[in-house]
Amino acid sequence: MGDPAVVKIFDTTLRDGEQSPGATLTTAEKLQVAQQLGRLNVDIIEAGFPAASPGDLAAVKEIARSVRGVAIAGLARAFKGDIDAAWEAVCDAELPVIHVFLATSDIHLQHKLCISREEALARVRTMVAYARNLCPTIEFSAEDATRSDRDYLCQVFEAAIQAGATTVNVPDTVGYTFPHEYEALFRMLRERVPGMEQVTLSAHCHDDLGMATANTLAAIKGGARQVEVTVNGLGERAGNTALEEVVMALRTRPDTFGGVDTHINAQELLATSQLVSKLTGILVQPNKAIVGMNAFAHEAGIHQDGMLKNRTTYEIMTPQSVGWNDTNLVLGKHSGRHGLDARLRKLGHKLNAEQLQSAYGRFVALADQKKNINDADLVYIIESGQETPAAV
């Protein structure tokens, strides 16, 4: 099961994340992201779904051959053909993983797979065992686990463990569950499923109701020691749990999680986020936690005053800890005299109280007309004694 004080990071940016509309990557781009994920020090890279296309198989194979020091996983449905393709793709990896999945909710069994619970259970036994004969590390995922019958889910996981699964994953495939429910589900599985203590229990959450990170953290409290995440929260529909949010939540609040941490090199979070955004063409929203451009920006005068006195007043982590250069005190109509004075001093202008009051009046007049105040505007205000024209 591994070190109980460490949560393994299973990064699925290159598989589930790439399924975001418009996020398709070339083999060369996938390799570039995989190498960066190696620098970030993730534990497992799910590099793709080899049976999906010849291109995906080739990309996973290239990553498996090229990226060392990290496990490489390939996704497979519970079919021999998919499992064979996954093994072909990952067999050259230093630490290969075959990730087999099958839906377990009645909704999926009846309307998508058109098979009975008994047939699904038999397929889990057969296909997990088949995969284990090829590869020493097998993950089994019960798709739509959070909408599955609890007794049946226990049977499925017991069968998967008996067939050789080394990790069992409990996906909230459609972002349906709430944190207290998800934590309770993990605790129940640990209590009821024979052999669960011998395998790694994993969480995989989607963000349809905006609770992917909260649910993932709840799973950790419930005993999960692997989390399946993506950079920037990319993924199907509303996306997956954001890697950077889980990592920094654990690191910022160790008291809440009993000191559990990850192996992640957090100073690489920003670089990883920006690379994924650049290659996929999917922009990171400015107010995105950790890696958004406003994550460490302060415009309100009260906040700026507090930050200038002691940064812990409004920042619970340092920008440098996740890869940013520094805090950004943004000057706008909500800024106060302290923020303006601090910026002017950086520009070499040290004003007395009367001069600062006068400059602040001109600054506020301009800020009412212009969204972004730049350094050239400030220099003009000081040197000319009047506001910069709003069009400048």
Q: How confident is the model at residue 302 (pLDDT cuts 50, 70, 90)?
A: confident
Q: Are residues 120 and 152 in the same domain?
A: yes
Q: Is residue 389 part of a domain?
A: no
Supply the pLDDT for residue 388.
44
User: How much is the average pLDDT of 354-377?
Assistant: 82
Four-CA torsion 384, 386, 391, 392, nearest 10 degrees: 20
| Residue that is last in its domain, among 280, 313, 328 | 280
Supply the pLDDT for residue 3.
85
Per-residue pLDDT tens digits for 71-83: 999 999 999 999 9
Distance CA 385, CA 147 (A): 66
What is the domain extent for residue 344? 300-384
Q: How confident is the model at residue 296 (pLDDT cuts 50, 70, 90)?
A: confident
Q: What is the CATH number of the domain that holds 173?
A: 3.20.20.70
Q: Are residues 159 and 259 in the same domain?
A: yes
Supply the pLDDT for residue 1.
64
Supply the pLDDT for residue 386.
53
Q: Are residues 273 and 320 in the same domain?
A: no
- Report how far Cα 151 is from the mean position of its chain's Cα atoms: 30
* Residue 266 confidence (pLDDT) above 80: yes
332: left (phi over 0), alpha (psi -120 to 50) or beta: beta
Q: Is residue 294 part of a domain?
A: no
Per-residue pLDDT tens digits for 137-153: 999 999 999 999 999 99
Distance CA 83, CA 5 (A): 32
Per-residue pLDDT tens digits for 170-201: 999 999 999 999 999 999 999 999 999 999 99
More confident residue, 361 or 168: 168
Q: Are residues 30 and 124 in the same domain?
A: yes
Report the share of the chain in percent with pLDDT over 90: 75
Q: Are residues 273 and 304 in the same domain?
A: no
Q: Is residue 234 part of a domain?
A: yes
Supply the pLDDT for residue 32.
98
Q: Is residue 28 part of a domain?
A: yes
Q: Are residues 311 and 264 in the same domain?
A: no
Pairing of the two strands 71-77 and 95-103: parallel
Q: Is residue 289 part of a domain?
A: no
Q: Are residues 168 and 307 in the same domain?
A: no
* Residue 166 confidence (pLDDT) above 90: yes
Q: Are residues 345 and 229 in the same domain?
A: no
Token pair in block for residue 242: 């954001």
Pairing of the two strands 226-229 and 328-329: unpaired
| Residue that is last in its domain, among 228, 247, 280 | 280
Q: Identify the helix (H) or strand (E) that includes residue 229.
A: strand 226-229
Q: Identify the helix (H) or strand (E) that includes residue 167.
A: strand 167-172
Supply the pLDDT for residue 389.
44
* Residue 331 confidence (pLDDT) above 90: no
More confident residue, 310 or 26: 26
User: How much is the average pLDDT of 47-62?
Assistant: 97
Q: Is residue 273 part of a domain?
A: yes
Token pair in block for residue 186: 């993990």
| The total number of structural domains that make up the chain | 2
User: How much is the average pLDDT of 77-93?
Assistant: 98
Q: Is residue 390 part of a domain?
A: no
Q: Are residues 235 and 327 in the same domain?
A: no
SS3 content of the chain, % helix, strand, coil (to 5): 50, 15, 35
DSSP string, 350-385: ---HHHHHHHHHHHHHHHTT-S---HHHHHHHHHHS
Q: Are residues 127 and 253 in the same domain?
A: yes
Q: Identify the helix (H) or strand (E) that includes residue 40.
A: helix 27-40
Secondary structure (H, E, C), 283-313: CCCCCCCCCCCCCCEECCHHHHHHHHHCHHH
Supply the pLDDT for residue 391.
39
Report the share of the chain in percent with pLDDT over 70: 98
Predicted model pTM:
0.89
Q: Are residues 235 and 316 in the same domain?
A: no
Supply the pLDDT for residue 200.
98
Mention every residue, 6+ apart, whose C-beta is less than 8 A from residue 265. Answer: 39, 40, 41
Token pair in block for residue 30: 């996938």
* Residue 387 confidence (pLDDT) above 90: no
Supply the pLDDT for residue 211.
98
| Residue that is last in its domain, among 249, 280, 311 | 280
Q: How confident is the model at residue 293 (pLDDT cuts 50, 70, 90)?
A: confident
Q: How confident is the model at residue 304 (pLDDT cuts 50, 70, 90)?
A: confident
Supply the pLDDT for residue 306.
83
Q: Is residue 3 part of a domain?
A: no
More confident residue, 114 or 362: 114
Q: Are residues 208 and 71 in the same domain?
A: yes
